[in-house]
Amino acid sequence: MSDPNVDMSDGATDRGARTLLAHVAGADAAAFRGLATAIDDFFLPESHRLDERTRVGLSRLLRALVDTVEGEIRDHGVRQLQVQGETALADALAGADGVFTALRESGLLRDRELMGELIAQVRQELLASGMPVQAHDDPERPSLINRFVQHPDRVLAQSAMGVLIAESRRRSLPEAGPLPQTDLPAELHHKLVWWVAAALRQRVAAEDIATLDRVLAEAAQRSLAAHDEGDRVEAAVMRLAVAIDAQPDELPELLNEALGDRRVTLFAGLLAHALGVDYTVARSLALDAGSGRLWVALRALDLDREAIARLGLALTEADPRRDIEAFAETLDTIMAVEVEDARAALAGLRLPGDYRAAVQALGGAA
């Protein structure tokens, strides 16, 4: 028989006290890390900071990608467990949450390749959205991409339609909710899928961990098998650029029209094909607001003063990081660069990306 004089709340109070003390200890460590982060942020050069629009866009995109993969793996896993009669485990998996938080706190999302790709995608879209649509001399004339869709050459027409389809798919994110696919390069998609599967495992309290592991691995492999890197916007614009195969006398106007139609992806694709570099290299040139590499690349293609001025004006007006007056003042310097010198300066960009990354990691320049 229990003693009525014993306070049954003593045990709960002790546990609460221990929890509070543990929280205080953890908060102290968190404050120390927070101060270090604040100091790093304060001394970060302004040119290296993400502006607020890029930060917001990056946050939305990253969350949408994780949610997409998480939903795909979770839904398939729950269905499989229900079919196998593992209803309790299926309910536990269906109710698991906090995957994005777990990945963020683990540090996995700090992956250099992943974040580099996502930042580039966001900046690419922001640059396009900042461009005014240029009015054609003939208001009835279709846009560049629509002219190619209507082209009698079947390869050109199909390639252009592929760009429109890929653009439509990407524009469904992140505001419209989960994506039908991540729209990432295959290597990055593979990383994200396995990270999400592991985070889901961590968030599910399961006695039969072997069954959960098997179902999550199967769901992840299903997602990997369904991913087609060729469906990405970047792949589609490169196929179109190859089909167009712009000649030197055609290239300036095509580049100008691509920007006029607010298609930075097509601009980068045309530039990549003309320079003989990967799409990611051409995109980095288009988004580079400080080094002047784009102007050297345009000189390497033997573009004249008027063409470079038009392209520079369009890009500068759309990108708040660029200075229109500074560009105008350097135009003479840009035109003083000889074509052969420009080509020699960019020779390293034609090397394989992994090789250039390895050289840079070892302290060299490529």
Q: Of 23-27, 260-264, 291-295, where does mean pLDDT reach its minimum? A: 23-27
DSSP class per residue in 83-117: HTT-HHHHHHHHH---HHHHHHHHTGGG-HHHHHH
pLDDT at 178: 40
**Residue 315 covered by a domain:** yes
Domain hosting residue 266, numbered range? 247-366
Task: Answer whether residue 135 shows pLDDT above 70.
Answer: no
Task: Answer whether residue 256 shows pLDDT above 60.
Answer: yes
pLDDT at 279: 96
Omega within 30 of 0 (cis) for the link into 152: no
CB 145 within 8 A of CB 263: yes
Which is it for the CA torsion 242, 246, 252, 254, positive or negative? negative
**Residue 354 covered by a domain:** yes
Residue % of the chain over a pLDDT of 90: 66
Percent of the chain that is helix, strand, coil (3-state, to 5): 70, 0, 30
Comparing CA positions, the residue from 267, 280, 260 lying closest to residue 240 is 267
CB 159 within 8 A of CB 240: yes
pLDDT at 75: 95
Task: Answer whether residue 283 shows pLDDT above 50.
Answer: yes
CB atoms within 10 A of CB 240: 24
CB 79 within 8 A of CB 60: no
Mean pLDDT score, 96-117: 94
Tens digits of per-residue pLDDT, 151-185? 999 999 999 999 999 988 877 654 434 444 578 99
CB 163 within 8 A of CB 237: yes
Mean pLDDT score, 95-104: 93
CB 279 within 8 A of CB 272: yes
Comparing CA positions, the residue from 170, 70, 161 lying closest to residue 117 is 170
- pLDDT tier at 83, thresholds 50, 70, 90: very high
- pLDDT tier at 1, thresholds 50, 70, 90: very low
pLDDT at 5: 52
**Residue 79 covered by a domain:** no
Tens digits of per-residue pLDDT, 287-326? 988 788 999 999 999 999 999 999 999 999 999 888 889 8
**Residue 255 covered by a domain:** yes
Per-chain mean pLDDT for the chain: 88
Cα-Cα end-to-end distance for the chain: 81
CB 69 within 8 A of CB 169: no
CB 129 within 8 A of CB 262: yes
**Residue 265 covered by a domain:** yes
pLDDT at 7: 52
Number of domains within the chain: 1
Task: Answer whether residue 215 shows pLDDT above 60.
Answer: yes
Mean pLDDT score, 236-257: 96
**Residue 237 covered by a domain:** no
pLDDT at 2: 47
**Residue 183 covered by a domain:** no
pLDDT at 206: 75
Of 357 and 181, the structure prediction assigns the larger pLDDT to 357
pLDDT at 250: 96
Comparing CA positions, the residue from 216, 221, 266 lying closest to residue 81 is 216
**Residue 342 covered by a domain:** yes
Residue 118 vs residues 59, 114, 293, 366: alpha-carbon distances, Å: 10, 6, 21, 23
